[in-house]
Amino acid sequence: MQPYLGAKISQSVAIDRAQKPLRAFMFRQTREKDIAVFYAMTKEPRPAKQDDVPTYLLIPAFTISELKTASRSASRSTFRFIVIDMVVASVLLSMGMMMIPPVLISLPFKILIFLLVDGWNLHRQRLVLEF
């Protein structure tokens, strides 16, 4: 960035230099299937090397791959909270408390468990380890 801001290199050279590490990062995080999907949509032939994959196909493949990873992570977290809801609902029904909404009881339990297991740090750690 500094050579470009100091007018020592042109914009196209700066973009080429910045593109290499960015593309390497995107290739590490992108699934082959996601790249193949965009090649199938554009009906372009698959290249032999990663360097031949155009950036305009790599960026949407990377985005789709990251969305898939995020949805998988969100579903894992949501599943744990659904289990707590189901257990609380079962206990309330077995005690004959049909008129009490299970969410009223389960929400404090969810917050308490999240705080006790240090949920924010676990969540951040999982995000970092995915890279």
Q: What are the pLDDT digits (tens) for 37-64?
A: 999 898 888 888 888 888 889 999 999 9
Q: pTM surpassing 0.85?
A: no
Residue 12 has pLDDT above 90, yes or no: no
Q: What is the pLDDT of residue 60?
A: 93
Number of separate domains in the chain: 1
- 60-78 in b/e form (b: 16+ CB < 10 A) is ebbebbeeeeeeeeeeeee
CB neighbourhood size of 34 (10 A): 20
pLDDT at residue 61, as a whole number = 93
Encoded amino acid at 47, one letter: P
Residue span of the structural domain in which 94 resides: 2-129
